Amino acid sequence: MNQSSSNPKSSPALLSATGRDYPEWFQLLDAWGAPGRGYREIADWLVGQGVSDWWAQKLIVEYEQDRGLRQPGARRSGSFAGGASKTVPFSIDRLYAAFADSELRRCWLPDLELTERTARPGRSIRFDVGDESRVSAIFAATGAEKAQVAVEQEGLPDAAAAEQAKRDWRRRLAGLKEWLAD
């Protein structure tokens, strides 16, 4: 185990929220024996130390990356994710329909075959992709005729695939904005 691959950054917010900064938490996690333990066990231990769920998740990711136990960008499962977001000058209903209606979706997204898994109309939609990855889109109205979509493709094999997905979704969402304008 790499005891410290880098000097962890300092976080006034972490110090204020928990009373300790990254180096102190990392030392405590080492002494407790965090490497080799599951995420839930580590999170429960941190919460037992008075850390909120949010800070526990953040500490685990930072700790595992610092100790070389998790690659940057990797999920707990070891898979990767990449995506993008876009705000468009159209209603949330119109934006959501561009994803939910398979015929409309093929107009602006001809390069990707998606199979719908679940949907919460106007809020979110999730798809399976033929390559075993999954796509989720979350929608938010930012005005009467303005909406935002955040797309994430998860279950990718490595950091390079995640970076490619990020580039692809930026391009696709820019194309969606143009398509909606036509």
- Give percent above pLDDT 90 in the chain: 65
Whether residues 58 and 93 share a domain: the answer is no
The span from the CA of 95 to the CA of 52, in Å, is 35
Banded model confidence at residue 2, pLDDT cuts 50, 70, 90? very low
Domains of the chain: total = 2
The span from the CA of 57 to the CA of 69, in Å, is 15
**Which whole number is the average pLDDT over 127-156?**
92
Banded model confidence at residue 8, pLDDT cuts 50, 70, 90? low
> For the segment 59-69, what is each residue's pLDDT rounded down to a tens digit?
998 898 889 88
Asked if residues 67 and 33 have their Cβ atoms less than 8 Å apart, the reply is no
Whether residues 50 and 108 share a domain: the answer is no
- Closest listed residue to residue 155, CA positions, set 116, 118, 128, 115: 128
Whether residues 23 and 113 share a domain: the answer is no
Asked if residue 143 belongs to a domain, the reply is: yes
**Based on the number of CB atoms within 10 Å of its own CB, is 125 exposed (0-12), middle (13-18) or buried (19 or more)?**
buried
Structural domain of 49: 12-66
Cross-strand bridge partners of residue 128: 115, 134
Whether residues 111 and 162 share a domain: the answer is yes
> For the segment 89-116, what is each residue's pLDDT rounded down to a tens digit?
999 999 999 999 999 999 999 989 999 9
Banded model confidence at residue 19, pLDDT cuts 50, 70, 90? very high
**Tokens 């979110």 belong to residue:** 124
* C-beta atoms surrounding 12 within 10 Å: 8
Whether residues 98 and 166 share a domain: the answer is yes
Whether residues 54 and 92 share a domain: the answer is no
The span from the CA of 39 to the CA of 59, in Å, is 11
Whether residues 54 and 119 share a domain: the answer is no
Asked if residues 8 and 22 have their Cβ atoms less than 8 Å apart, the reply is yes
